[in-house]
Amino acid sequence: MYRMRSKASVFIVCAAATAIMAGCEPGPLPDTGTRTSEVFHSDLLGEDLKLSYRLPPDYESRPGDTFQAVYQLDPTFVGLREMDFTTGYISAMEEAGEIDSTIVIGIDYAGANQRFRDFEMPGDLTREFDGDKIDVFYKVMRDEVVPRVETAVRASPVDRALVGHSLGGRFALYSAFRYDPADPLFTRIVANDSSYCEGLFAMERWMSETADDADMRVFMAMALWNGPQHKLSHDWLFERLAGRGYTSLALDERQYDTDHGGVIGPGFEDGLRFILGGDL
């Protein structure tokens, strides 16, 4: 009896220790900046968005300067703290002198989250991009959000960065493939464990038919635990993009031995370092 209870105690302790280990994935790093937010009405969506701003520590002491801007999709979705991860890595890289002072802007919803509407491809995706869903949200970003941000804070219009995970990664790649050399909306892209779909491949092909070059920095990450289909899509899209011969395109990718949630931290860290700081 005593031996049995003793074994039970050992088992329970081991199980608890394992559970604690599983819950001890590194969280976001401290944010050295200051946070503000505002509710912003989108006429195109007919609803309110919540814009969160992370301003760098030297923002007030440099009143005449603009700062490079990182736009973060899904900043607070289901407690994944994506904006916290991004601001933490940004803070650490600023302190280490790897990157310039940076403003981070979280694009959130004031009401119910609508990412399953705004990051989904329309049923009839066309080269005119005049459909609903993601086509509309891209217009919201281009015509409403970015102009509002660049009015509200001193965010630079040059080389804007877009960071997304999962469906947000899909929107990030969608934005990359909407590349317009005359007036690029985003030229720094972190597509972290993106929800790949047929439409993205069509868009990439359309871009290759119209653009001789793409002056962008694109980082693609994926979690290996998503399985073979995801890996096939990830590899195909990366290899296609790498094989286009865009001389100005800086492109890299990483595949992490983790799951869809676990890739948020390492994918953002490597991605931000690549698109803002240079090589990994």
Binding site for another protein (CB under 8 A): 1, 4, 7-8, 11-12, 14-15, 18-19, 21-22, 25, 198, 201-202, 205, 224-225, 227-229, 231-233, 236, 257-259, 262
Residue 183 carries which DSSP code? Answer: S
- Cβ closest to another protein, residue 140 vs residue 224: 224
Q: Indicate the residue among 156 and 208 with the shorter CB distance to another protein.
A: 208
Separation between Cα atoms, residue 64 and residue 62, nearest integer Å: 6
What is the smallest separation between the CB atom of 19 and another protein, expressed in angstroms? 7
Nearest residue (CB) to another protein, 50 versus 254? 254
What is the rounded distance in angstroms from the CA atom of residue 199 to the CA atom of residue 237?
11
Name the residue nearer to another protein (CB basis): 197 or 250.
197
The amino acid occupying position 236 is W
Question: Smallest gap, in angstroms, from Cβ of residue 163 to another protein?
Answer: 22
Least spacing, CB of residue 117 vs another protein, in Å: 17
* Structure-token match 């940004």, residue found: 90
For residue 99, the minimal CB distance to another protein (Å) is 28
Q: Supply the DSSP symbol for 201.
A: H
Based on CB atoms, which residue is closest to another protein, 18 or 34?
Answer: 18
Task: Give yes or no for a contact between 193 and 215, defined as CB atoms under 8 angstroms apart.
Answer: no
Q: b/e per residue, 27-51, with b = 16+ CB within 10 A?
A: ebbebbbeeeeeebebeebeeebbb
Tokens coding 205: 């092909």
Residue given tokens 């069509």 in the structure block? 202
Q: What's the rounded Cα separation, in Å, for the pair 25 and 215?
A: 35
Nearest approach, Cβ of 197 to another protein (angstroms)? 9
Quick one: 21 or 112, whose CB is closer to another protein?
21
Q: Which is nearer to another protein, 47 or 259 (CB)?
A: 259
Least gap, CB of 112 to another protein (angstroms):
22
Q: Please answer whether residues 80 and 261 qualify as being in contact, where contact means their C-beta atoms are separated by less than 8 angstroms.
A: yes
Residue 67 is classified by DSSP as: B
Q: How far is the CB of 261 from another protein (least distance, A)?
A: 9
Cα 250 to Cα 214: distance, rounded to the nearest angstrom:
9
